[in-house]
Amino acid sequence: MSESAFDVIPFEDIKGQWKKLGSGSFGNVYKGSYLGIDVAIKEVLPSTEYDVAKYFEREWRLMKECRHPNVVLYLGLSRAPDGRIFIVSEYIENGNLRHYIYDKTKTFPWRLRLSFATDIARALAYLHARKCLHRDLKGENLLLTSNLRVKITDFGFARIAARNDSELKRLTFCGTDAYMSPEILAGTPFDLPTDIYSMGVIL
């Protein structure tokens, strides 16, 4: 993986307690601090099921090109002295959509539901206009800001959509079973509409 000098965040500049926030595709996510602001730090972990290096580099390249209010902002890469690589992105402070929905102490009026749905749709419209297929859209990958705006995160399974029939056939089985489109589950070719199906499951 060849990082641009503009993307590199010196490992020693990442401060904080590295509190574990959870696990994403291929890695753990921690909370830290960089230049005085809270950040999310994703560490790549080895896997026997996937080519982790390939997916991690794809995630990094896709994230660095995305600039949208409903997509988590990529800040840079960092490399530890022992060779481990981390993706650093903005920290979203209000947890994920799944936890919010199941928290009985939270109010969930229809106005807010419509706002969530609109944010998800806007993010997908932006990604799909760039031919980016997320492939793992679910409540856990939809983060909520302090003012309850939704941001898509975890691009570990994301890739550029198929450009021809040959590439369409090479799209691999991946994602989370409960949110997978029938095409993925059946092992047949799939493309951008599979994200729309996952959004429908969420709604």
What average pLDDT is seen over the chain? 85
pLDDT score recorded for residue 170: 44
70 or 157: which leads in pLDDT? 70
Half-sphere CA count of 144, side-chain side, radius 13 A:
19
Q: At 41, list the tokens.
A: 């730090």
pLDDT in tens, 118-170: 999 999 999 999 999 998 999 999 999 999 999 999 887 787 765 545 444 44
Q: State mean pLDDT over 67-78.
A: 94
CATH 1.10.510.10 corresponds to the domain 97-202: yes
Most confident option among 110-114, 177-181, 182-186: 110-114
pLDDT score recorded for residue 175: 72
pTM: 0.85
For 5, the 3-state DSSP assignment is coil
Residue 171 pLDDT > 70? no
pLDDT score recorded for residue 154: 87
Cα–Cα distance, 133 to 131 (Å, whole number):
6
Query: How many DSSP H helices and E strands does the chain contain?
Result: 6, 9
Give binding residues as ranges.
42
Topology agreement, domain 11-90 and domain 97-202: no
pLDDT score recorded for residue 27: 76
pLDDT score recorded for residue 52: 65
* Nearest residue to 146 (alpha-carbon basis) of 90, 105, 102, 87: 90
pLDDT in tens, 109-126: 999 999 999 999 999 999
For 176, the 3-state DSSP assignment is coil
* Marked catalytic residue, from 13, 82, 103, 136: 136
Give binding residues for ATP as ranges.
42
CATH class of the region 11-90: alpha beta
pLDDT score recorded for residue 47: 62
Catalytic: 136?
yes
Domain ranges of the chain: 11-90, 97-202
Kindly report which listed range (4-8, 71-75, 88-92) carries the lowest average pLDDT score.
4-8
pLDDT score recorded for residue 168: 43
> Which distant-in-sequence residues (6+ apart) come within 8 Å of 88 by Cβ?
9, 14, 32, 34, 39, 40, 41, 42, 74, 75, 76, 77, 78
Cα–Cα distance, 158 to 40 (Å, whole number):
19
